[in-house]
Amino acid sequence: MRLTWERPLSAWSPLAADVVASTGARVALPLALEDDTTHLALRTLVDTLQEQGVGVDVVPRLGPVRGVNTTTAARFHERLLPALAALPSTVGVFVYCEPVPSTLRAALSAAGGGALVDRARGVTGLVGGLASAVWSARQGRRDLVELARDLRSRVAPSLAAVPPPLMPLDAPLSAAALHWLLGCPDGDGDDGPLFGGPSAALCCAPLVATDRKGQHRALSLWAARHREKSHVICLGPTAPLAGMEPSAIYQAPAHLRQDMLAVQALGFSDVTVMSLDGLVMGADDVVRPDVDAWVGALAAGTTRVRHAAA
């Protein structure tokens, strides 16, 4: 299991470290490529966690942008490799290979099975976004492939999180073709994994529906379809993501637990949950009063995870 940290690194707390240690998870920390002043603090935290036996990945970001796609790959490539050179070679890279938030929102809305008018708006937004995405894919494909090639050459593996198997939008196309149109493929065009291993589908149910029944239905469909080619999946979020509705998060520990049980039943062996900070802190950056229930949901009811909240 992997837990991502979405807030700035300055918000990291000893409680977060306790949760990671108690669950035996890897942790994916933000790597701010445009803010060199944070790199020393990141290296110190990486060293501390690795000394404690915790596996660490970094999530590259350019300001608020975390999505690596055919539009942003060149800028990420230029800044990412020098930043990684200052970190231990055992640190992995967790890449969000995803379109810009507006295109992703449109795709999720159109694929979510919600009200007809909402789906129509989603399709309209998606078609408008794809016009520019097609051009970006033509210009940026080489940049993305070169970035992926350099990341594959590192000692620690890279993992890409990609959009889910969108339904029913990819029915006329192959999933690979749709992801290339969105600017965020998971394959290299020759039937090989772009980043050197199976990709994790971003099966983030709260982003696609407001009602819990709709969320779980979408998660189950996406996960079952993704399982046909990968054992890796990404769930969440537990805290608001940039560019998404603030309410598009898991609203209760039971919802996260239900989805964890679902992907376990499907046989997923590598699960990432966004985000660790949302598990332990509320929107006001205060420790959740029900933090034990949220952390316990990670175990999907098989083992109660306990930790000290003080």
Domain hosting residue 171, numbered range = 2-297
pTM above 0.95, yes or no: no
Residue 249, in any domain of the structure: yes
Q: What is the reported pLDDT for 135? A: 52
Q: Would residue 304 count as lying in a domain?
A: no
What string of DSSP letters covers 164-181? ---TTTTSSS-HHHHHHH
Separation between Cα atoms, residue 132 and residue 295, nearest integer Å: 41
Total domains, the chain: 1
* Residue 303 counted as domain residue: no
Alpha helices in the chain (DSSP H): 14-23, 39-51, 73-85, 101-111, 116-152, 175-181, 212-226, 253-266, 276-280, 291-297
- Specify if 252 maps to a domain: yes
Q: Average of pLDDT values for 62-80?
A: 92
Q: Classify residue 9 as exposed, middle or buried by CB count within 10 Å of its CB (0-12, 13-18, 19+).
A: middle
The tens digit of pLDDT for each residue in 233-272 reads 999 999 998 878 888 999 999 999 999 999 999 999 999 9
Residue 34 in any domain: the answer is yes
- Is residue 310 a part of any domain in this protein? no
Answer yes or no: is 309 within a domain: no
In a domain, 98, yes or no: yes
Q: Domain holding 209: CATH number? A: 3.20.20
CB 112 within 8 A of CB 214: yes
Rounded CA separation 134/60 (Å) = 24
pLDDT score recorded for residue 139: 65
